[in-house]
């Protein structure tokens, strides 16, 4: 059982196979600014054909961030382009990254917006680092795009 982020008709967050399906409750509402960032990231990744997009809800597990968005690109160029598109769109909407890493190389990019941290991987590195497995206690949602 998945859920749709409020205000988003085209992206459904469906529980990933490795996570226990836990739909959001009233007590776990997402801060509006954080939700806006998350929705923007998902829109950009969908528009630019990111592969295997997953959102991990870390609010009950970590004080460092609320959400990880993990996605793959099909090549170094695709990973780099995804990162650049996310950075540009969030900048256009008044959001600046706290920290960026790995964008020029394109193998793995980290885009830290404090409450939302985006990890973009070349597929071979994603399978090597296995962030979804490392954070297996976090409710995870696969993003089903409305294409």
| DSSP codes joined into one string, 6-25 | TT-SSEEEEE-TTS------
Query: Where does the pLDDT of residue 37 fall: very low under 50, low under 70, confident under 90, or very high at 90 and above?
Result: very high
- Tokens 């459904």 found at: 12
Higher pLDDT, 57 or 28: 57
State the pLDDT at residue 18: 36
Q: Answer whether residue 36 shows pLDDT above 80.
A: yes
How much of the chain is helix, strand and coil, in % rounded to 5?
30, 25, 40
| Per-residue tokens: 119 | 């990890």
On average, the pLDDT of the chain sits at 80
The pair phi, psi for residue 89, each rounded to 5°, is -65, -40
For residues 142 and 133, give the distance between their C-alpha atoms in angstroms, rounded to a whole number. 14
Return the bridge partners of 13, or none: 3, 143
The whole model's pTM is what?
Answer: 0.78
Out of 3.40.50.1820, 3.30.460.10, 1.10.760.10, 3.30.420.40, which CATH number does the structure's domain 3-21+37-145 have?
3.30.460.10
Per-residue pLDDT averaged across 27-40, rounded? 84
On whether the CB atoms of residues 4 and 35 are closer than 8 A, the answer is: no
On whether the CB atoms of residues 90 and 41 are closer than 8 A, the answer is: yes
Query: Where does the pLDDT of residue 62 fall: very low under 50, low under 70, confident under 90, or very high at 90 and above?
Result: confident
Task: List pLDDT tens digits, range 89-127.
Answer: 999 999 999 999 999 998 999 999 999 999 999 988 888
């Amino acid at each position: 059982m998945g859920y749709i982020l409020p205000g988003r008709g085209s992206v459904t967050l469906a529980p990933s196979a490795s996570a226990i399906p836990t739909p959001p409750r009233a007590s776990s509402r997402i801060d509006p600014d954080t939700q806006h960032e998350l929705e923007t990231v998902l829109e950009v990744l969908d528009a630019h054909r990111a592969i295997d997009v997953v959102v991990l809800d870390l609010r009950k597990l970590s004080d460092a961030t609320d959400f990880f968005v993990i996605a793959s690109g099909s090549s170094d160029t695709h990973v780099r382009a995804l990162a650049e598109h996310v950075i540009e769109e969030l900048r256009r909407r008044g959001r600046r990254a706290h920290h960026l890493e790995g964008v020029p190389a394109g193998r793995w990019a980290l885009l830290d917006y404090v409450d939302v941290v985006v990890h973009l991987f070349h597929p071979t590195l994603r399978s090597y680092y296995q962030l979804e497995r490392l954070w297996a206690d976090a409710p995870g949602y696969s993003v089903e795009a409305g294409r």
